[in-house]
Amino acid sequence: MKKTAMTDVILKAKADKQLRWEQIAEHAGLAPEFTTSACLGMNSMPKENADKLCAALALPAEVSAALQEFPHKSWDKWVPTDPVIYRLYEIVAVYGETIKQIIHEKFGDGIMSAIDFSMHIEKVPDPKGDRVKLTMNGKFLPYKTW
């Protein structure tokens, strides 16, 4: 099973069972952001977690196997070459659909303007309008001088 077919099967099961990504992630034993990204084909998932997710959604072993496969991360858009902007672009390219899915679940329709990396998305109530709190935590990799 290809990752694109896997994603279609998972999204259908999610809709049929009326589950949120946070609930699916709880079954898988992983963070919602990582679980969503893996289900959208942008990360691989350890066997134990993939099997738990598939059991919770009543999905076949082929879906678990596809979740465990290493992803091919690519996009057909122009990519900036500045290292700082490139890394931000890469995060959006890899996790953009995940961010969109989770923001839509937490806030409704709207928008919000990757190696050793973690991310957390929260809804923060505010009297002027609820806010999106996106926390990205990546390892600092200094340039070498030679």
Q: Which of the following is catalytic: 22, 26, 69, 90?
A: 90
Q: Which of the following is catalytic: 20, 26, 69, 87?
A: 87
* Packing angle, helices 32-39 and 21-28, rounded to 10: 90
Distance between CA atoms of 90 and 107, rounded to whole angstroms? Answer: 24
117-124 vs 131-138, strand pairing mode: antiparallel
Active site residue 62: no
Contact (Cβ atoms closer than 8 angstroms) between residue 21 and residue 32: yes
Q: Across-strand partners of 117? A: 138
CA distances from 90 to 34, 53, 56, 82, 132 (A): 15, 27, 31, 12, 20
Point out the residues that are catalytic: 87, 90, 113
